[in-house]
Chain A
């Protein structure tokens, strides 16, 4: 009955709906094209500039086209030990932070979502709230604390790349724990009851059942932790200064820009290569990437 009515309405007004629909489609494509151009101009311009020689960059020709493309900038950067050091530091920091984040946030999320104990609900909310405390509020007291540690114990923390491995988890753990709580909570309780009846302990319950079932969540959280550590700019800016201790974003900004001499071809190449790991992850794991982004607000 209902479908019958709907079909009748559809037939009666098909002409006008079709015209409206076509107009809506036209404007949708129009705005999409405009915003794709707006959104992709900077990365495309990075690529264009990275393929130019210094002479062509300062020439009066069109900045939007490469007349004599060259890979010289790429060769130069990828053979420069300074740039490779930045890259190595960034990669080490990001991988270690991902490992630490997962080791801490997965058990915590499991305990908070399944083993209800005194204060567990408050703790879960509290974890999420700490995600709202920005790095820009913490870098000054942290700087002072690290300087104090040096005075008190003689352990030098400032200007060491591995300090970032200690600090970055504060940026990744709250959010990763939060989204893992969301994924774990969506697993039906019958599963753990069955496992417990079969004599599994909590550790087995986590590794044999929860991790495999919530694997998409684990992947989303891993991607989140990696991209956050790869992109973090303020902490390395504040805590590291020596060229061999810098990570990519800070390294490019501080060392490739020497005084007033801007070697734009190299800067753009460095920035593009630095943006590549997150872009590659995004290209191959887009759905997980987006799941991680939207999980914070739609789950839990």
Chain B
């Protein structure tokens, strides 16, 4: 690092001479750098950080937003049964969806990695399709597959001699359905991340393990998993954030129904805040996503810092 700064210091005279006609302030390196990053800082400050802080303020106002009511909105929420149902459903939804995405992604990544190299591209190409289609559009296809009277799944089940399933009509099946669609959308992302990680494990490690007589399970447990630990953790954290904050799948598939049983924080906040015109209460609900975000952010930050010191 030092040597490059010195080299740059030696290299700068010709540039400096040319720029000497400009005011010294405008030609300073830090000023140019600030100018280049200023739009970024402004847009993030005005449209991300300010609204995020504003949400905390909004949550303390009355419904008509003319009075400061302190924590009354939170108090109101805590007394409502629907709120606790939403908390429970959000946690179940996020945790089980991420778990299945990770398992399926891991399994599929291994399978792709196992087949001969010339076929891998083709398989990978087909398996990433659910991730590429905008979720609002693909969820419409699922909605149609789950249709109460024309469900194509029920047609198959009935022709196999079973009984049709009320996919979105029954609370438990509806919860299963939103998780299933979320896993469908997200598993390919895990697959692609794990595949990249698998490719980066040095082949010599497996050869060494094979010479030591390790079976496939021991290779997986003692070689693959430790080498992939970082990627697995980061991908799961990312996915946990995104899944916890999910809106489109639940909104399109069930819109929270039947009777609010499948609402997650985002869809319920939308219903209360935008559709119900109670902006403070909606802000209040969406704030409950902050703790999980903060925890995940701390872990991710730690990982970034560690990588920064390794480099």
Contact = CB atoms under 8 A, between A and B. Distances in A.
Contacts, number: 307
Interface stretch (B68-76, B91-99, B111-119, B167-175): B111-119
Nearest to A90: B134
B140 A267 contact: yes
A98 to B, nearest CB: 15
A189 B4 contact: yes
A153 B8 CA distance: 49
A207 interface: no
Contacts of A108: 36-37, 39-40
Nearest to B134: A231
A42 B145 contact: yes
A46 B137 CA distance: 10
Interface string B246-281: 111001100000000000011001100110000100
Interface string A32-57: 10011011111101100100000001
A238 B7 contact: no
B32 A115 contact: yes
A297 B193 contact: yes
B283 interface: yes
Contacts of A294: 192-193, 196
A125 B301 contact: yes
Contacts of A143: 273-274, 279
B164 interface: no
A271 B269 contact: no
B43 interface: yes
Given A117-B33, A141-B58, A298-B231, A43 B282 contact: no
Contacts of A249: 134, 136-137, 248
Contacts of A193: 4, 7-8, 11
B43 A107 contact: no
Nearest to B181: A42
A202 B308 CA distance: 25
B130 to A, nearest CB: 5
A279 B188 contact: no
Nearest to A49: B144
Contacts of A262: 147
A297 B231 contact: yes
Interface in B126-147: 126-138, 140-142, 144-145, 147
Contacts of B40: 104-105, 108, 127, 173, 177
A1 interface: no
Contacts of A202: 29, 32
Contacts of A297: 193, 231, 234-235, 238
Interface residues on B, range: 35 or more
Contact of A267 (B19, B47, B144, B307): B144
Contact of B133 (A58, A111, A167, A275): A275
Chain A: interface size category: 35 or more
A6 B207 contact: yes
A199 interface: yes
A272 to B, nearest CB: 8
B157 interface: no
B137 A196 contact: no
Given A138-B51, A196-B8, A275 B138 contact: yes
Contact of B134 (A36, A121, A130, A230): A230
B182 interface: no
Contacts of B107: 31, 35
B136 A253 contact: yes
B225 interface: no
B300 interface: yes
A233 to B, nearest CB: 4
B205 interface: no
Interface string A115-131: 10110110101011110
Contacts of A296: 238
Interface string A132-156: 1111111111111100000000000
A215 interface: no
B178 interface: no
B126 A144 contact: no
A43 B129 contact: yes
Interface string A277-296: 01100110010011001101
A236 to B, nearest CB: 10
Interface in A241-300: 249-250, 252-253, 262, 264, 267-268, 271-272, 274-275, 278-279, 282-283, 286, 289-290, 293-294, 296-298, 300
A28 interface: yes
A217 interface: no
A29 B138 contact: no
Given A32-B115, A137-B289, A300 B307 contact: yes
A181 to B, nearest CB: 11
